[in-house]
C-alpha cells in the first residue's frame, strides 16, 4: 500500500513530486495507492505494473485530469467531487467519481469506463472516440451534464441517467451533441436542444441489453445500487445518435427550391406582372422564329448594281447577264431597249461608259464589257406598242433627250410627235459628233427604230412663242428638249473674233466645209473641244492647239486621236484677249493663231416659252424644273435645257421626263421616279471570283460568267447549300422566275446566307418583329 | 490588291480581338447568331495560289473560296469580350482575346464622350487587399468556433439613441417609455443596393428581390434591398414583402407617383427610405438611363417618354447639408408616419467627414444612416471620364467618419454603411469584415449581385456594355429577346448561396478575433502590409 498525504502542515507536495513518487512505487511493484491529494493533476495515468497487475487508486481531493491517459489495468476511485477533465484521453482505466465531476469529463476518452455519481460540467464527453481495435469507451453519469455536452463525439457510449434533474429543461444542457459524428448518448429525462443532424430515438433491445448489463456495475461503483429500480424504466429513456454520413448526404437541403418559393410563396405572377408579361420560361441563347436576334431577308434587286447606279440612263446590266445566264439572249438584248433607244449609237459608240468605271469586276481584274454589249442591241427590231392611249404629246427638240422621252412615251402607246428646227432629226448625234466617231448608218438605223414604234418626226420646224402655244393647245403634254444650242464664251477682249464651235461642227456635219485657218486655237479641251480640233484638221488646218483652264476633261482616246494628228493641249491657260495674231493668256503667254474657235459648252435658247407662267431659270439660261420635271402645266423638260450633260445624262433625263409625262397624261397620282441605292460594296462576296491574270476578254456576251451580279440573285444556291439549319428553300414560279425563302421556324438568324451570298442579295438585320412584353400597367 | 487606307479602323484598334480557328469551325452559325453586339459576321475568304507540283516549275493555279467567321472592324459594333461566342461554340473554334494595343478609347469620341457601364478601370487597386485580419486569438484568449458558436450578426438601420437619451421613466415601480424613439431595425449588415428598374431588366431586378425574399423567409437572414431610383413595382409595394425593401429617392424622383399612389394599399411599412445624393461610380453626375433601355414599363413607372434619362446631379430642392437633413429627411420620415428609418447615401468625397458631422448634429434625430459609396462602385451607364477619373476610395472615408464620431462620443448613433467595390476581388465577407473593423456598421453591394446573375463585366474592360441595352446575359437590357435568356430562379439561388456563404465566412472571421457580435471599430483586429495604409487608418503595420 502506497499511502501518501500530500500536505505536510502548510507545505503542499507539487504535482511533479507526487507523480514521480507514484511512478517510482509502481516500478517497485506497488499496486495499491491511497492518495490524500491537494489538487494535484493527472493522478492515475499513464501507468502500468511491470507484471501486469491491476493498479488501484483511491484519491481524495483530486485536481484536474484525474485518471488522464489511463491504461487498462488501472482502477481509480475518487472520493467526493473532482475537478475538470476527469478521464481525459482515458485509454482503458475504470474511473469512478463518487460525487460531481467538473467540466470536460471524459474528454477525448477512447477506452475504459468512467462512472460519475453526480453531475458533470460543460463539454462533458466531448470528442469521445472509439478505436475499433479495442472496446468502446463508456461514460456513465448519474445526474445531468452542463451545456455543449458530447460536442464532436466520434464514438463510444455515454449514459446520462437524469436522476435528481427534473428541474432542468435539458439534462444534457444547451446545444448538446453539436458536431457529433459517431457513438451514442443514452439519456433519461428532458432533452430539448440538439442539432438537426442528430437523431433522437427510442431504445431498442440491444440498447436495453447494454444498459441493463452495465447499470448494476455503475451503481455499485458509485454506491447507489438502491436507485436501480428508479433508473431502469426503459420507457423513460431515449438515445441520441448522429445521422450517418450516408444519411446526411441523402437528407440534403430541406428548404424549398427557388422555383417552388417563387410559385407558392412569392408575389403571385411576379412583382412586375402588372407591367411585364413574362412566363419566366428560360430561352436558349439561340432561338428560332420570333426570338431570333436577327432575321435574314432575300432582298433581290433591292439595290442597284454599280453599273446600273452609275449609268445616268439607269440600265441594269446585271439583269441582262442574268437573262443571258438563263439562255434568254433575246430578252437580254431587248431589255436594254426598255431604257434607251440608242444602245448602239450611245452605249456602244460615243458613251464614256461610266457603268464600267463603277463595275465591281473592275476591282477584281477588268470591268465587264458593257459598252460592247450595248452594240448587240443596236439593230434589234422592237414590237409596236400593243395598245394606243390616244394621248398626244409634242416633243420640241429632236436630240437624244427629246428622242429618249419620245421613245419611252411612244412605247407606252401615246401618240408622239418630235419637232426640230434642223433638217435632220438627231440633235448632236446627227449634227455635231464627227462621223468618224459615230457611224451614220448606225445612227440612222436607230432613228428609224424610233419611228418604227410610232414616233412622228417633224423637221425644219422652228418653234416660237406662237407655235409653242399652238402645240400646247393641240397636245396633252409638251416636252421641251431643245438642249444647248448657243456656244458660250466670256467677254474676253476681242471676243468678236471668235468662231462658235457648235456652229462650226454643225457646218462640217452638213458638209459645208466652213472657213478654217492655218493655225487654229480651240478654247476648251473637253470632248467637244476635241471634236472641234478633229474637225479643224479635217478642214485643212496645219496646227491646232486646244487650251483649257484645267486638266482636259476629254476622254483619253479622244485626246490621243487629236495628238496623233499633231494637235497640242495647253493648260492651265486663262484666256485674256484674242487678236488677229492669236490668243493671250492672263500671264502673258501667247499662242499665235489666225482662227480661234470657242468650245466651252452651250446654253439653251428658250425664247419660245411663255413669260407669264413663272417659269424658273438658273442664270437666266437653264430651266429649273419641279420634282416631276415639269416647268408649267402640261409642259415638261429634259436634257441640256436643265443643265449641260453627257449624252447618257440626256437619255436618262428624257426617260425620267417621260415617266412623269405618262402619269400626267394618264391622270395618275404622281409617284416619284424609282431610284435605287447603290449596293454597298461590303455586301458583295468578290472572293468567289478568281482574278484573271493576263486574260483576254472574249465576247461581251460571255462576260455573264465574270459578272458578279451585284444586288441581283444569280441563282447559284450558295445560300441554300450553306444554311446550317437547312432553313432555305428555292421556290420556282410559273414564269420561270424564282425566289429563295428562309423558314422562320428553322432559321436561327446566323446570317451565313448573307455572308456567303456573292451578290449581296441576302440581308441580315435586327429582328423587326416586336415582342409585346411590357405595358404601362393599365388594367384591361 | 486590297483597298485599305491607313486611317481605316482595323480589328487591332479594338479592345478585343477574335481568335478564330477555321480548321475547327463547322459553320454552325451559333456564334454569329448569339452575339448581341454584332461584332462578328460571316464572310467568304479566298485563297488563290499558283503552285507547282512537278519536278520543275510548272505553274498551276488553284482557287478556293470558303466561308469564315470574321470580326467586324467597327467602332460601334465592336467586340466587348463577353465571350458568348466562346461559350456557345461546340468546337472551341472562337474566343475573344484582350488586345493590349487597342486604340478604341482614343478613336471613338466622334459622338462625344465615351459612355459605358461597369466600374472604374483605372483605379482598380484596392486598399482592402493590403489589409489582413492579423489579430488572431492565439493563447491570449479562446477563439470561437465559427461553425458552432452563436453569433449576433445584425446591424442597426435607424438613429440609435445613447442610453442616457432614452425616454424612460419609472412609474409605479415599472420602467415605461414616455416618448417616441426614432425607428431602428436590426438588419443583416449586407444591403443589396440601388440598381434601378430600367438599369436592370425586369427579370434581373426580380431575381435580386426574390433572393431577398428567400433569404428572409427561408434562411432567417434579414437582408434588405434598396430599390434604386427607378421606382418600385406596384405589386411589391402592395405585398407583405415590402418590409424587406428600402425605397430610394434620388434627384430624378423617378417612380414616386406610383409609390405614393400605393400607400393606401400597403399592408406593411417598407424597411426604410434611402435618400441618394450621389454614387461612387460617378460622383457629380446624376443617374443615366440610355433611351435603349427606356421600355414601355420604364416610361410608365417613371412617367416619362422614351428618351435618355439623365437625372440632375443634385436634388433640385436642396441647397445645403442642413436643408438635406431638415427638409428631405423630415419629408421622408413624415411620409411613413415617422415609423420608417431614413438614411442618406453620398459618394465618398474629401468632404464626407463634414457631411457626417452635420448629420450627427441633427437635432431632430431623424437621420437613420449614412451610406458612403466609394470610387469602385458600379453603374449601368456613365461617362467614362467620370468612372475612371472622379471619385474617392471608401476605406479611409469610413475610418475618418467613424473616428470623427468617436471623438465626439457619438459613434454608433448614425449607422455607417460603406460600399463601392465590396466583393470586387471575390470575397465580400472579408471586405465587409474589414470595413466593419474600421468603423462601418455594414456594407452595401450591387455589382456583385449582377455578377452572380451572370454578368461577366470586370475591371479589365470586359463587356461593361450595360449602357447599350444589349446585355448578352439579359441583365442590363429591356430587349425581350435578351431578357428571356435570364433564369430568374437560378439567378436568385446563386445570390442566396453567396449570401449564405458570406454569412459563414463572416463567422470565420469573427470567430478567430473572439467576437460574437459584429466587430464595429475593432481596428486592432486588422494589420496592413502597406505602411502608408496602416498609418492613415491607424492600424498596425506588419511585414
Q: What is the CATH code of the structural domain delimited by B134-161+185-457+485-515? A: 3.20.20.70
Span B246-260, pLDDT tens digits: 999 998 899 999 999
Q: What is the mean pLDDT of residues A451-457?
A: 96
**Cβ distance of B241 and A266 shorter than 8 Å:** yes
Domain range annotation of chain B: 11-112, 134-161+185-457+485-515
Tell me the three cell numbers of residue A503: 456652229
A624: number of Cβ within 10 Å: 12
In chain A, which among 140-199 make CB contacts under 8 A with chain B?
A: 151, 175, 178-179
Q: At B462, is the pLDDT very low, low, confident or very high (cuts 50, 70, 90)?
A: very high
Point out which residues pair with B64 in neighbouring strands: B47
Q: Best interface-test mutation with A: which of B63, B206, B454, B473 has the largest number of A CBs within 10 A?
A: B206
Q: Give the CA distances from residue B526 to residues B136, B364, B431, B479, in Å, rounded to whole numbers and listed in that order.
A: 9, 35, 12, 46
Residues 6+ apart with CB under 8 A from B382: B115, B116, B117, B281, B282, B285, B288, B467
The phi and psi torsions of A632 (rounded to 5 degrees) equal -160, 175
Does B296 contact A776 at a Cβ distance shorter than 8 Å?
yes
- Which residues of B are annotated as part of the binding site for [4Fe-4S] cluster? 25, 28, 31, 35, 79, 82, 85, 89
Coil, strand or helix at B443? strand
Interface of B with A in 410-469 (CB under 8 A): none
pLDDT digits (tens, 9 = 90+) for B482-532: 999 999 999 999 999 999 999 999 999 999 999 999 999 999 999 999 999
B-facing residues of A in 509-548 (CB < 8 A) are none
Residue A613: CB atoms within 10 A of its CB come to 10
Higher pLDDT, B145 or A266: A266
**pLDDT score at A193:** 77
Q: What is the pLDDT of residue B317?
A: 78
A303: helix, strand or coil: coil
DSSP run (H or E) holding B49: strand B40-52
- Residues 6 or more apart whose CB falls under 8 angstroms from that of A491 comprise none
CA distance A99 to A116: 7
Q: Tell me the Ramachandran region of residue A107: left when phi exceeds 0, alpha when psi lies from -120 to 50, beta otherwise.
A: beta
pLDDT for the residue numbered B69: 98
A286 closest CB neighbour out of B34, B484, B496? B34
Residues of B in contact with A767 (CB under 8 A): 481
| B240 touches A at CB < 8 Å | no
Higher pLDDT, B320 or A398: A398
Which of B435, B471, B431, B429 shows the shortest CA–CA distance to B450? B471
Asked whether residue A120 carries a pLDDT value surpassing 70, the answer given is: yes
Average pLDDT over residues B14-34: 97
**Structural element, H or E, at residue A348:** none
Q: What distances in angstroms separate CA A239 from CA A111, A125, A186, A206, one per listed residue?
A: 20, 15, 4, 12
pLDDT tens column, B333-371: 999 999 999 999 999 999 999 999 999 998 889 999 999
Contact present, A542 and A518 (Cβ < 8 Å) = yes
Fold of B11-112: Alpha-Beta Plaits (3.30.70)
| pTM, entire model | 0.85
Domains B11-112 and B134-161+185-457+485-515 share a fold: no
ipTM (interface pTM): 0.95
Contact A151, A178 (CB under 8 A): yes
Helix (H), strand (E) at residue A584:
strand A582-585
**For chain B, what is the mean pLDDT?**
94
Residues of A within 8 A of B236 (CB-CB) are 267, 271
Of B213, B300, B487, the CB nearest to A282: B487
B30 touches chain A (CB under 8 A): yes
Q: At which residue does the C-alpha cell 442618406 appear?
A: B344
Burial class (CB in 10 A: 0-12, 13-18, 19+), A351: buried
Is the pLDDT assigned to residue A295 strictly greater than 90? yes
Contacts of A646 (CB under 8 A, 6+ apart): A312, A351, A352
Q: Concatenated DSSP letters for A681-741?
A: GGG--GGGSPP-TTPPP--GGGGGTT---TTS-----HHHHH-TT--EEEEE-TTS-EEEE
Mean of pLDDT values over B138-151: 82
pLDDT band (50, 70, 90) for residue A694: low
Does the beta-carbon distance from B42 to A276 stay under 8 Å? Answer: no
Q: What are phi and psi of B246, to 5 degrees?
A: -100, 130
Cell readout for B418 is: 460603406
* Helix, strand counts (H, E) of chain A: 20, 35
Q: Single out the residue of A146, A112, A143 nearest to residue A129, CA to CA.
A: A112
- The percent of chain A in helix, strand and coil, each rounded to the nearest 5, is 30, 20, 50
Nearest to A234 by CA among A186, A280, A278, A166: A186
pLDDT at residue A73 greater than cutoff 60:
yes
pLDDT at residue B81 is higher than 80: yes
Confidence class of residue A463 from pLDDT cuts 50, 70 and 90?
very high
| Mean pLDDT on B217-236 | 96
The pLDDT value recorded for residue A636 is: 97
Residue B302: per-residue pLDDT:
92
CA distance B48 to B62: 6
- Cα→Cα distances A111→A42, A133, A141, A149, A429, Å: 17, 10, 16, 18, 125
Question: pLDDT tens digit string along A577-625?
Answer: 999 999 999 998 999 999 999 999 899 999 999 998 889 999 888 999 9
Please tell me the predicted confidence (pLDDT) of residue A45.
81
How many residues are given for chain A? 780
pLDDT of residue A205: 96
Cα–Cα distances in Å, from A671 out to A268, A404, B223?
55, 20, 66
Q: Is the pLDDT of residue A39 over 90?
A: yes
Structural element, H or E, at residue A517: none
pLDDT score for B501: 97
Q: Nearest chain B Cα to A271, which residue?
A: B235
**pLDDT at residue A780 in the model:** 57
Radius of gyration of chain B (CA): 27
For the segment B175-184, the average pLDDT, to the nearest whole number, is 94
Q: What is the mean pLDDT of residues A695-704?
A: 87
pLDDT in tens, A726-769: 999 999 999 889 999 999 999 999 999 999 999 999 999 999 99
How does pLDDT run across A51-70, given as a tens digit for each residue?
Answer: 999 999 999 999 999 999 99
Between CA A722 and CA A742 the distance in angstroms is 12
> Distances from the Cα of A598 to the Cαs of A252, A486, A529, A581, B146, in angstroms?
102, 11, 8, 16, 105
Q: What is the pLDDT of residues A362-404, one digit of tens each?
A: 999 999 999 999 999 999 999 999 999 999 999 999 999 999 9
* CB-based contact, B489 to chain A, within 8 Å: yes
Of A267, A276, A687, the CB nearest to B44: A687
Q: What is the pLDDT of residues A642-659, one digit of tens each?
A: 999 999 999 999 999 999
Rounded CA-CA distance B255/A145 in Å is 60
The 3 state secondary structure assigned to A393-433 is: EEEECCCHHHHHHHHHHHHCCCEEEEECCCCCCCHHHHHCC
A-chain residues within 8 Å CB-CB of B485? 282-285
Collect all residues with Cβ–Cβ distance below 8 Å to A462 and sequence separation of at least 6.
A421
Task: Report the distance separating Cα B378 and Cα A760, nearest Å.
Answer: 43
Q: Does A265 touch chain B (CB under 8 A)?
A: yes
Residue B237's φ and ψ, nearest 5 degrees, are: -60, -35
Which chain B residues are Cβ-neighbours of A286 within 8 angstroms? 30, 33-34, 88
CA neighbor of A752 nearest in space, from A779, A776, A724, A780: A724
Between CA B209 and CA B204 the distance in angstroms is 9
Main-chain dihedrals φ then ψ at residue A518, nearest 5 degrees: -80, -40
Q: pLDDT per residue over A136-163, tens digit each?
A: 999 999 999 999 999 999 999 999 999 9
Q: Which residue has the cell 439534462?
A: A171
The yes-or-no verdict on residue A462 having pLDDT over 80 is yes
The DSSP element (H or E) to which A667 belongs, if any, is: none
- Which residues 278-297 of chain A have a CB within 8 Å of chain B? 278, 280-287, 291-294
Count CA within 13 A, CB hemisphere, residue A662: 21
Q: Which element (helix H / strand E) includes A323?
A: helix A317-325
Residues from chain B contacting residue A175 (CB–CB below 8 Å): 148
CA-closest candidate to residue B422, choices B259, B181, B191: B191
Q: What is the mean pLDDT of residues A189-206?
A: 91
Distance from C-alpha of A88 to C-alpha of A104, rounded to nearest angstrom: 8
DSSP-assigned letter for residue B208: H
Counting one residue from chain A and one from chain B, the pairs whose CB atoms sit within 8 A come to 182
Residues in B closer than 8 angstroms to A779, CB to CB, are: none
Q: Kindly state whether A767 is in contact with chain B, defined as any CB-CB distance less than 8 angstroms.
A: yes
Cβ A271–B239 below 8 Å, yes or no? yes
Say how far apart CA B356 and CA B360 lie, in whole Å: 6
CA-CA distance, A362 to A232, in Å (whole number)? 109
Q: Is A774 within 8 Å of B213 when comparing Cβ atoms?
A: no
- At B488 the pLDDT is 98
B1: pLDDT strictly greater than 70:
no
**Residue A377 cell numbers, joined:** 442591241
* B327 has a pLDDT exceeding 90: no
Pick from B27, B46, B485: which is nearest to A285 by CB? B485
Amino acid at each position: 500500500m502506497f499511502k501518501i498525504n500530500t500536505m505536510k502542515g502548510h507545505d503542499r507536495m507539487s504535482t511533479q513530486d507526487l507523480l514521480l513518487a507514484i511512478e517510482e512505487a509502481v516500478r517497485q511493484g506497488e499496486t495499491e495507492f491511497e492518495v490524500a491529494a491537494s489538487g494535484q493533476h493527472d493522478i492515475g495515468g499513464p501507468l502500468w505494473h511491470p507484471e501486469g497487475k491491476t493498479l488501484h487508486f483511491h484519491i481524495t481531493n483530486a485536481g484536474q485530469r484525474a485518471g488522464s491517459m489511463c491504461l487498462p489495468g488501472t482502477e481509480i476511485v475518487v472520493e467526493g467531487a473532482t475537478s475538470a477533465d476527469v478521464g481525459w484521453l482515458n485509454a482503458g482505466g475504470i474511473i469512478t467519481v463518487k460525487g460531481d465531476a467538473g467540466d470536460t469529463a471524459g474528454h477525448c476518452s477512447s477506452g475504459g469506463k468512467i462512472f460519475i455519481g453526480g453531475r458533470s460540467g460543460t463539454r462533458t464527453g466531448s470528442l469521445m472516440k472509439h478505436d475499433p481495435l479495442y472496446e468502446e469507451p463508456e461514460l456513465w453519469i448519474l445526474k445531468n451534464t452542463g451545456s455543449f455536452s458530447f460536442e464532436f463525439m466520434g464514438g463510444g457510449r455515454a449514459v446520462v441517467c437524469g436522476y435528481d434533474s427534473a428541474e432542468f429543461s435539458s439534462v444534457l444542457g444547451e446545444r448538446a451533441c453539436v458536431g457529433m459524428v459517431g457513438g451514442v448518448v443514452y439519456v433519461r429525462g428532458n432533452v430539448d436542444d440538439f442539432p438537426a443532424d442528430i437523431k433522437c430515438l427510442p431504445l431498442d433491445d440491444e440498447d436495453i441489453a447494454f444498459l441493463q448489463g452495465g447499470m448494476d456495475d455503475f451503481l455499485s461503483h458509485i454506491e447507489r445500487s438502491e436507485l436501480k429500480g428508479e433508473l431502469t424504466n426503459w420507457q423513460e429513456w431515449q438515445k441520441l445518435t448522429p445521422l450517418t454520413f450516408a444519411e446526411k448526404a441523402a437528407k440534403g437541403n430541406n428548404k424549398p427550391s427557388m422555383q417552388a418559393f417563387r410559385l407558392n410563396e412569392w408575389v403571385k405572377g411576379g412583382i412586375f406582372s402588372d407591367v411585364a408579361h413574362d412566363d419566366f420560361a428560360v430561352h436558349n441563347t439561340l432561338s428560332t422564329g420570333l426570338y431570333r436576334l436577327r432575321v435574314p431577308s432575300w432582298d433581290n434587286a433591292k439595290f442597284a448594281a454599280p453599273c446600273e447606279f452609275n449609268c445616268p440612263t439607269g440600265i441594269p446590266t446585271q439583269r441582262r447577264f442574268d437573262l443571258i445566264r438563263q439562255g434568254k439572249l433575246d430578252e437580254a438584248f431587248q431589255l436594254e431597249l426598255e431604257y434607251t433607244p440608242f444602245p448602239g449609237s450611245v452605249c456602244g459608240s460615243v458613251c464614256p461608259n461610266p457603268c464600267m468605271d463603277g463595275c465591281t469586276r473592275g476591282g477584281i481584274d477588268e470591268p465587264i464589257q458593257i459598252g460592247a454589249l450595248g452594240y448587240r442591241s443596236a439593230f434589234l427590231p422592237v414590237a409596236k406598242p400593243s395598245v394606243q392611249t390616244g394621248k398626244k404629246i409634242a416633243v420640241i427638240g429632236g436630240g437624244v433627250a427629246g428622242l429618249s422621252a419620245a421613245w419611252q412615251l411612244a412605247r407606252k402607246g401615246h401618240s408622239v410627235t418630235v419637232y426640230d428646227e434642223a433638217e435632220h432629226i438627231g440633235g448632236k448625234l446627227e449634227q455635231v459628233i464627227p462621223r468618224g466617231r459615230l457611224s451614220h448608218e448606225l445612227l440612222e438605223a436607230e432613228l428609224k427604230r424610233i419611228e418604227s414604234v410610232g414616233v412622228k418626226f417633224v423637221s425644219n420646224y422652228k418653234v416660237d412663242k406662237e407655235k409653242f402655244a399652238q402645240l400646247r393647245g393641240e397636245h396633252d403634254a409638251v416636252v421641251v428638249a431643245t438642249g444647248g444650242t448657243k456656244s458660250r464664251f466670256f467677254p474676253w477682249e476681242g471676243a468678236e473674233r471668235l468662231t462658235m464651235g457648235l456652229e462650226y461642227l454643225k457646218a462640217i456635219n452638213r458638209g459645208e466645209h466652213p472657213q478654217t485657218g492655218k493655225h487654229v486655237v480651240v478654247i476648251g479641251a473637253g470632248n467637244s473641244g476635241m471634236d472641234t480640233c478633229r474637225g479643224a484638221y479635217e478642214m485643212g488646218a496645219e496646227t491646232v492647239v486646244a487650251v483649257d483652264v484645267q486638266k482636259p476633261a476629254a476622254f483619253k482616246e479622244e485626246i490621243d486621236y487629236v495628238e496623233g494628228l499633231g494637235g497640242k493641249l495647253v493648260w492651265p491657260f486663262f484666256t485674256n484677249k484674242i487678236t488677229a495674231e492669236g490668243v493671250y493668256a492672263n500671264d502673258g503667254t501667247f499662242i499665235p493663231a489666225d482662227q480661234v474657235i470657242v468650245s466651252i459648252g452651250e446654253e439653251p435658247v428658250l425664247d419660245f416659252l411663255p413669260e407669264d407662267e413663272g417659269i424658273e431659270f438658273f442664270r437666266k439660261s437653264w430651266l429649273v424644273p419641279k420634282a416631276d420635271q415639269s416647268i408649267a402645266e402640261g409642259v415638261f423638260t429634259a436634257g441640256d435645257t436643265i443643265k449641260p450633260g453627257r449624252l447618257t445624262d440626256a437619255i436618262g433625263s428624257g426617260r425620267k421626263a417621260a415617266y412623269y409625262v405618262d402619269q400626267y397624261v394618264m391622270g395618275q397620282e404622281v409617284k416619284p421616279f424609282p431610284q435605287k441605292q447603290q449596293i454597298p460594296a461590303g455586301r458583295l462576296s468578290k472572293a468567289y471570283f478568281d482574278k484573271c491574270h493576263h486574260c483576254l476578254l472574249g465576247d461581251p456576251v460571255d462576260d455573264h460568267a465574270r459578272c458578279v451580279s451585284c444586288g441581283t440573285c444569280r441563282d447559284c444556291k450558295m445560300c441554300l447549300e450553306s444554311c446550317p439549319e437547312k432553313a432555305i428553300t428555292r421556290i420556282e414560279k410559273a414564269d420561270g422566275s424564282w425566289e429563295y425563302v428562309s423558314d422562320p421556324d428553322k432559321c436561327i438568324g446566323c446570317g451565313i446566307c448573307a455572308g456567303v451570298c456573292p451578290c449581296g442579295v441576302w440581308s441580315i438585320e435586327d429582328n423587326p418583329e416586336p415582342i409585346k412584353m411590357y405595358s404601362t400597367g393599365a388594367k384591361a | 490588291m486590297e483597298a485599305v487606307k491607313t486611317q481605316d479602323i482595323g480589328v487591332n484598334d479594338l479592345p478585343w480581338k477574335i481568335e478564330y480557328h477555321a480548321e475547327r469551325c463547322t459553320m454552325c452559325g451559333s456564334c454569329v447568331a448569339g452575339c448581341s453586339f454584332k461584332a462578328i459576321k460571316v464572310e467568304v475568304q479566298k485563297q488563290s495560289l499558283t503552285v507547282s507540283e512537278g519536278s520543275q516549275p510548272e505553274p498551276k493555279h488553284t482557287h478556293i473560296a470558303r466561308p469564315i467567321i470574321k470580326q467586324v472592324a467597327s467602332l460601334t459594333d465592336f467586340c466587348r469580350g463577353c465571350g458568348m461566342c466562346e461559350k456557345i461554340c461546340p468546337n472551341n473554334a472562337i474566343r475573344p482575346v484582350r488586345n493590349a494595343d487597342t486604340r478604341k478609347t482614343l478613336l471613338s469620341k466622334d459622338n462625344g464622350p465615351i459612355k459605358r457601364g461597369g466600374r472604374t478601370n483605372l483605379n482598380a487597386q484596392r486598399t482592402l487587399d493590403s489589409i489582413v485580419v492579423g489579430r488572431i486569438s492565439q493563447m491570449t484568449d479562446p477563439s470561437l468556433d465559427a461553425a458552432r458558436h452563436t453569433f449576433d450578426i445584425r446591424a442597426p438601420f435607424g438613429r440609435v439613441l445613447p442610453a442616457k437619451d432614452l425616454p424612460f421613466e419609472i412609474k409605479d415601480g415599472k420602467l415605461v417609455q414616455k416618448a417616441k424613439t426614432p425607428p431602428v431595425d436590426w438588419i443583416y449588415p449586407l444591403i443589396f443596393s440601388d440598381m434601378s428598374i430600367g438599369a436592370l431588366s425586369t427579370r434581373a431586378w426580380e431575381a435580386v428581390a426574390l433572393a431577398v425574399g428567400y433569404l428572409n423567409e427561408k434562411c432567417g437572414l434579414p437582408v434588405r434591398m434598396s430599390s434604386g431610383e427607378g421606382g418600385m413595382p406596384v405589386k411589391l409595394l402592395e405585398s407583405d414583402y415590402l418590409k424587406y425593401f428600402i425605397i430610394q429617392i434620388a434627384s430624378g424622383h423617378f417612380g414616386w407617383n406610383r409609390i405614393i399612389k400605393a400607400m393606401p394599399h400597403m399592408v406593411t411599412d417598407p424597411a426604410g427610405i434611402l435618400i441618394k445624393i450621389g454614387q461612387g461610380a460617378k460622383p457629380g453626375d446624376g443617374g443615366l438611363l440610355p433611351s435603349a433601355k427606356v421600355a414601355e414599363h420604364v416610361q410608365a413607372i417613371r412617367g416619362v417618354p422614351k428618351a435618355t434619362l439623365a437625372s440632375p446631379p443634385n436634388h433640385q430642392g436642396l441647397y445645403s447639408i442642413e436643408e438635406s437633413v431638415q427638409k428631405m429627411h423630415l419629408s421622408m420620415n413624415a411620409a411613413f408616419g415617422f415609423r420608417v428609418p431614413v438614411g442618406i447615401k453620398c459618394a465618398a468625397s474629401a468632404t464626407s467627414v463634414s457631411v457626417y458631422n452635420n448629420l450627427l448634429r441633427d437635432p431632430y434625430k431623424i437621420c437613420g444612416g449614412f451610406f458612403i459609396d466609394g470610387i469602385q462602385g458600379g453603374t449601368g451607364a456613365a461617362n467614362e471620364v467620370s468612372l475612371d477619373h472622379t471619385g474617392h476610395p471608401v476605406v479611409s472615408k469610413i475610418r475618418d467618419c467613424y473616428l470623427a464620431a468617436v471623438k465626439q462620443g457619438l459613434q454608433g448613433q448614425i449607422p455607417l454603411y460603406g460600399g463601392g467595390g465590396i466583393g470586387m476581388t471575390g470575397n465580400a465577407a472579408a471586405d465587409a469584415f474589414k470595413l466593419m473593423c474600421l468603423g462601418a456598421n455594414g456594407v452595401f453591394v450591387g455589382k456583385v449581385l449582377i455578377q452572380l446573375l451572370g454578368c461577366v463585366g470586370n475591371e479589365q474592360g470586359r463587356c461593361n456594355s450595360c449602357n447599350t441595352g444589349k446585355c448578352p446575359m439579359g441583365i442590363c437590357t429591356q430587349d425581350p429577346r435578351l431578357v428571356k435568356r435570364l433564369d430568374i430562379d437560378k439567378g436568385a439561388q446563386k445570390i442566396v448561396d453567396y449570401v449564405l456563404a458570406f454569412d459563414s465566412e463572416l463567422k470565420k472571421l469573427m470567430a478567430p478575433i473572439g467576437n460574437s457580435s459584429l466587430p464595429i471599430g475593432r481596428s486592432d483586429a486588422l494589420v496592413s502590409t502597406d505602411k502608408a495604409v496602416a498609418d492613415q487608418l491607424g492600424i498596425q503595420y506588419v511585414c
